[in-house]
Amino acid sequence: MTYCVAMRLNEGLVFLSDSRTNAGVDQISTFRKMLVFERPGDRLLVLMTSGNLAISQAVRQLVSDHIDAEGASIWTVSNMYEAARLVGDAVRQVRQRDARALEEAGIDFNVSIILGGQIENERCRLFQIYSAGNFIEAHTESPYFQIGEAKYGKPVVDRMVTPEASLDEGAKCALVSMDSTLRSNISVGLPLDLLCYETNSLRVTRFVSIDHTNQYFNMIHNTWGQRLKQVFREIPDPIWSESVDGSLKESPPELDSQSKPVRAVPPIALRRSEDDTTQSFQTLAEQTDRSAQRV
C-alpha cells in the first residue's frame, strides 16, 4: 500500500509520497511512487501513484512514451487538462489489456493517480485520476488530494490546508499527515519523496528524499506527538454536572428523563424471576417486622 498527498496553494504545489509496497507481511519492498516530467522553462509535471504496483508501473511507462493519434504526448501537450486526459487514456489502455486476466486471477484492477504541475504560462493545476481513467480537478474549496491510505492523515490536512498557506506550511502539514499515517499503518513506510513547486518556476526548485536519518522529519515525529499529548492534557475533563440546557447543577447529576440511557427490556421470564425475588424479600421483611412487634 502507499500514501500520497498533494496540495494546490497560491504559491505553488506540494507533493509527498512514501515508497513502501507490500504483498503480505513478509513481502515488503521499496518502490518510489513519484515521477517527475521536467523540461526547464517549458513544463514541470509530477505524477504519483497508488494501488497495484504492476498496473502503476505500466501506466507510468505508457505516460512517459505514449504519443496519441494527434501526435500529442505528456512532453508536448499545451495544458494540464490535456496531460490529465493522456494519463486517463493510459489507464484505460492498461485496463483493456490486463483487466480480464487480473479478474480471472481474482485481482481487482486497482490504481489511483495524482497529477499536478504547470505548463508554460498556464496556472498551476492538480488532478486526481481514477481506475476508470476519468478524473477531477482540485479547486479553491478542495485544494488537495490524497490517494492510498488517506484516512489517518486526512484530519490534519482538513484543518490546516487552505490556498493561502505558504509552501513551507504546506510541506510541514504534509509531513505531519504522513507521520500520522506511518504511526497507524505499517503498509506505509520510509523513504519519502517531498517536492515543492513554486509557481512559474517551470523546474524543480525544492526536493528532498527523507529517510530515518532526516533530522527535520524526526523532529516532526517527536514534537507532534508531544504537543498532541500536551494539548490533550490541557483540555478540561467532561462536566458531568451539566444539565441538558447547558446550566450547571449544584449536586452530582441524577438520571432524569432527558439524560437516561436507552435500556433494553429484559425477557418476560427474567422479569418474572426478578419480580418473584422482590416479592420474597418483601415477605421476609414483613415477617421480620411482625416478629419484632411480638417481642
| 8 Å CB contact between 231 and 224 | no
Q: Which three cell numbers stand for residue 196?
A: 515543492
Positive/negative CA dihedral, 32, 197, 38, 98: positive
Greatest pairwise CA separation for the chain in angstroms: 114
Consecutive H or E run containing 47: strand 43-51
**Residue 191 preceded by cis peptide, ω within 30:** yes
pLDDT for 103: 95
pLDDT for 5: 98
pLDDT for 251: 55
pLDDT for 65: 93
pLDDT in tens, 239-253: 877 665 666 665 555
Q: Is 139 exposed, middle or buried (0-12, 13-18, 19+ CB in 10 A)?
A: exposed
What's the fold here for domain 3-230?
Glutamine Phosphoribosylpyrophosphate, subunit 1, domain 1 (3.60.20)
- Which amino acid, 174? A
SS3 207: strand
CA dihedral (230, 231, 235, 237) in degrees, to 10, reads: -50
pLDDT for 289: 63
The CA angle 154-26-221, to the nearest 5 degrees, is 35
Boundaries of every domain in the chain: 3-230
pLDDT in tens, 184-200: 998 899 999 999 999 99
| 8 Å CB contact between 2 and 149 | yes
Low-confidence residues of the chain, pLDDT below 50?
A: none
- Which amino acid, 219? M
pTM over 0.95: no
Identify the CA nearest to 152 among candidates 171, 172, 178, 173.
178
SS3 283: helix
User: Angle formed by the axes of helices 53-65 and 80-104, to 10°?
Assistant: 140
Residues sharing a CB contact under 8 Å with residue 137, sequence separation 6 or more, in sequence order: 81, 84, 125, 126, 127
CA dihedral (285, 286, 291, 295) in degrees, to 10, reads: 100
